[in-house]
Chain A
């Protein structure tokens, strides 16, 4: 009937995507919120209360004077569920904007991770060699361990983890995804 435009629900309510598909999709959302107490609890409570998936969630203040924080959320679901998630997020009073970066255009997604790898001899050398290939930095070392710092897409970090596991990976900390749209325009 109506030609429904694709896009986010934040600026225009009519940018509803067509929801006629049952295939699960992975979407990265940027949610701009007022940095007030409880706002993260509201967002997380929405996901747990309504049974939506959270693959990754990061939050930090991005505008101190304006009291604004940016939540980057990676979630998955059918298009209908994704549209619901965006609409439900948009309903939260301290949420200013909801952007579906996956729909709005090409994005860069990065995650930072710290790896503690413990080993000796060949394992130690191999770990260092792979870290170099992955452009990971050594941020701490002892005679029997390294802590590597790596940034990249979640897939790259997964791949690095797979390689480090047999080489003595003992501890791993990941930040979750931060994402921005590519190109000169500020979308959010």
Chain B
């Protein structure tokens, strides 16, 4: 126990300790839903004003809101749920945060310790259920250990590769009195290394000098590492003149307006980005994890490159793709050292090789892979996003998305100039993520423009959060690209299952305008391309939550697309014949 004890410590109940620990961690907002097993904590929340509690309408919403809060601020998000169903409702969100490396701290109530194991009312084995979907979790059985565990939880959630943690707190532990020792009492052992091996960094600097066709392949780890990492990345790209692509999770780390920007890579990535990955001779992976949406066919992935991989998690290295230069460390830390090492060696690059490489990339760019056939009769989803981009790009803007075609189009057609401005469910692909995430983002940035680009099917999955948006006067804009289809599923059925559209349409959709009004929000319907700009402006000008029902072309496909089981240079580019594009072998892949 340390000096902290004097300021904040001493004897107190477990419930008070929870609130005090949150305060000591600088938490200003928590998302949650009460119930029997967390009543003492809610009682404490009631009696203070430092921490705002946002009452969601479903615990899944609380977790996604906490994720949105976390991703947009760089601080851990916090959620509180009750035992049993409250905790099980949190499971999807926890898994989502685990796969996307989002730091969140979830507190769950539990039946009293003396009832654990007796199938008590609303008892669930929460630590058992959430063990595989958290970075770590704890069941706290003694009030004396609660404070230290809470602080350890914040540390574990944010240190190294971030992720979700859960603390299960039995009700008697909340009521009982114990000693609270402040922030310094946490066990300090967990400390993943952040500094890269100098020899490996030197090897990469050397490889950069001679590379003729280098490319930076960056990912969510750059965002996780913090704003300094994005700054150093920008410096490095500017100094080397190497082209750069990013995964879905890393958008914004390098500005979309930047000279070397190739756009997103992967299954629905840009032609120039994927061709650069395929053709490069030096692949510098920074905080990305060679996901199967990126690699396509493994044995045909970037066949002629030396691969360097910077990642804080040793398990990301050599997991999927064999790495020649593994560098374990934090992106910002390693990029600082890399810049120093490369500079010390004279900041050399192969200018001639690079010039040829840029010329080649220019040819790929010229294919203009995002071009689409526009229409003056029906709104094309791509056009809707182009207009949204044009009308909002200069604003202080945050974008969240649901999952599906609209998500990919958003990644393709919206430009991100800064990190932490783009919140999407990448790893788990959770429909229902975007709306509650937008609530979390708006709570953190009350004066900013927060837009959730949604598909109607995804949006319905957590539409109950309209209540939250209205209650807290959160002016979140729900920009629904309504194709009356489970569009992404429909696209796969068209390409892979002989156009048999099994269960992939949205029947009996609500009237979204009336739905908005029923909740006390504003609804806008737009179906004519000629009205689109005015309708978007109406949405932006309205000071409050808006559901924007944008009726779009129903059978539009999302291109480019690398079919499952194909290589980067085998992309489908557009409405050309796509029959038999995916072979039987690819159909088993997801």
Is chain B found bound to chain A in the same assembly?
Answer: yes
Write the nearest CB–CB distance from B121 to chain A, whole angstroms: 23
**Interface status of B377 (Cβ within 8 A of chain A):** no
- Contact A13–B193 (Cβ < 8 Å): yes
Q: Are B139 and A90 in contact (CB under 8 A)?
A: no
A98 to chain B, nearest CB (A): 10
Task: Name B193's closest neighbour in chain A (CB-CB).
Answer: A13
> In chain B, what residue has the closest Cβ to A42?
B131
- Which residues of chain B come closer than 8 Å to A96, judged between CB atoms? 189
Contact A16 B315 (CB under 8 A): no
Query: Which one, B189, B190, B318, contacts A16 given CB within 8 A?
Result: B318
* Complexed CA–CA distance, A88 and B314 (Å): 8
A19 close to chain B: CB less than 8 A: yes
> Assuming A9-B314, A16-B326, A96-B189, is B128 touching A41 (CB within 8 A)?
yes
**What B residues does A19 contact at CB under 8 A?**
318, 322
User: B314, A87: Cβ atoms under 8 Å?
Assistant: yes
Nearest residue (CB) in B for A36 is: B138
Q: Spot the interface stretch: B51-59, B196-204, B214-222.
A: B196-204
A91 close to B324 (CB less than 8 A): no
A179 CA to B360 CA, complexed, in Å: 57
Point out the residues of chain B lying under 8 angstroms from A42, CB to CB: 131
The total of chain A residues at the interface (CB under 8 A) is: 27
Inter-chain CA distance A19–B315, complex, in Å, is 13
Taking a contact as CB atoms under 8 Å apart, the answer to whether A13 and B314 are in contact is: yes
**Complex Cα gap A135–B360 (Å):** 74
B156: interface (CB < 8 Å): yes
B195 CB, nearest partner CB in chain A, Å = 10
Of B135, B322, B328, which is within 8 A of A14 by CB? Answer: B328
B317-A87 in contact (CB<8A): yes
Interface 1/0 per residue, B303-337 and A, CB below 8 Å: 00010000001110111001011101000000000
Q: Which of B156, B203, B315 contacts A84 (CB 8 A)?
A: B315
A48: min CB distance to chain B, Å:
9
The number of inter-chain residue pairs (CB within 8 angstroms) is 65
B449 at the interface (CB under 8 A from A): no
A16 CA to B317 CA in the complex, in Å? 10
A93 touches B315 (CB 8 A): no
Contact check, A41 vs B203: say whether CB atoms are below 8 A apart.
no
A160 vs B156: C-alpha distance when bound (angstroms):
48
C-alpha gap A91/B156 in the complex (Å): 11
**Whole-angstrom CA separation of A90 from B312 in the bound complex:** 12
A117 to B127 CA separation, bound complex (whole angstroms):
43
Counting chain B residues whose Cβ lies within 8 A of the other chain, the interface size class is 20 to 34
A184 within 8 A of B: no
Whether the Cβ atoms of A38 and B324 lie closer than 8 Å is no
Proximity bits, A33-51, B CB within 8 Å = 1, else 0: 0000110011001000100
Q: With a CB–CB cut-off of 8 A, which chain A residues contact B127?
A: 38
Interface string of A108-124 (1 = CB under 8 A from B): 00000000000000000
Q: CA–CA, A107 to B317, complex, Å?
A: 28
Main secondary structure of the interface of B (DSSP, over half): mixed
* Assembly CA distance A12 to B326 (angstroms): 13
- Chain B: which residue is nearest A94 at the CB level? B136
The interface residues of chain B lying within 8 Å CB-to-CB of A87 are 313-315, 317, 319
Which B residues touch A16, using CB under 8 A? 314, 317-318, 326
CB–CB B156/A93 < 8 A: yes
CA distance A173 to B408 in the complex (A): 56
Rounded to whole Å, the gap between the CB of A168 and the closest CB of chain B is: 42
Is A1 interfacial (CB-CB < 8 Å)?
yes
Distance between Cα atoms of A144 and B299 in the complex (Å) = 62
Query: Smallest CB-CB separation from A85: which chain B residue?
Result: B315
A88 CA to B318 CA, complexed, in Å: 12
> Please, which residues of chain B bring their CB within 8 A of the CB of A4?
326
Interface digits, B103-134 against A, CB 8 Å rule (1 contact, 0 not)?
Answer: 00000000000000000000000011001100
Residues of chain B with a CB closer than 8 A to A93's CB: 135-136, 156, 190
Give Cα A2 to B313, complex, Å. Answer: 19
Chain B residues whose CB sits within 8 angstroms of the CB of A84 once the complex forms = 315, 318-319
Q: Which of A2, A88, A94 contacts B200 (CB 8 A)?
A: A2
The B-contacting residues of A in range 21-80, CB under 8 angstroms, are 37-38, 41-42, 45, 49, 80
Bound: A13/B209 CA distance, A: 26
**A13 touching B197 in the complex, CB below 8 Å, given contacts A19-B318, A93-B136:** yes
B207 interface residue, CB < 8 Å from A? yes
> What A residues does B136 contact at CB under 8 A?
92-94
Within the complex, the shortest CB–CB distance from A154 to chain B, in Å, comes to 28
When A2-B324, A2-B326, A16-B318 are in contact, do A91 and B313 touch as well, CB less than 8 Å?
yes
Indicate if A149 sits at the interface (CB-CB under 8 A).
no
How many Å lie between the Cα of A1 and that of B197 in the bound state? Answer: 15
Q: Is A83 interfacial (CB 8 A cutoff)?
A: yes
CA distance A164 to B107 in the complex (A): 55
Question: Least Cβ distance of A19 to chain B in Å?
Answer: 5
Taken together as a complex, chains A and B put the C-alpha atoms of A80 and B326 apart, in Å, by 14
Report the minimal beta-carbon distance from B160 to chain A, rounded to whole angstroms. Answer: 8
> Can you offer 25 A-B residue contacts whose CB atoms are under 8 A?
A1-B203, A1-B207, A1-B325, A2-B203, A2-B324, A2-B325, A4-B326, A13-B197, A13-B328, A14-B197, A38-B131, A38-B139, A45-B131, A45-B132, A80-B318, A80-B322, A84-B319, A87-B317, A87-B319, A90-B314, A91-B314, A91-B315, A92-B136, A93-B190, A94-B136
Other 20 A-B pairs with CB < 8 A, given A16-B326, A91-B161, A92-B136: A2-B200, A2-B325, A12-B197, A13-B197, A13-B328, A14-B197, A14-B328, A19-B322, A20-B322, A38-B127, A42-B131, A84-B315, A84-B319, A87-B319, A90-B314, A91-B314, A91-B315, A93-B135, A93-B136, A96-B189
Please list the 6 inter-chain residue pairs (A to B) with the smallest Cβ-Cβ separation, ordered nearest first. A87-B315, A13-B328, A1-B324, A93-B136, A87-B314, A14-B197
Binding site for B on A (CB under 8 A): 1-2, 4, 9, 12-14, 16, 19-20, 37-38, 41-42, 45, 49, 80, 83-84, 87-88, 90-94, 96
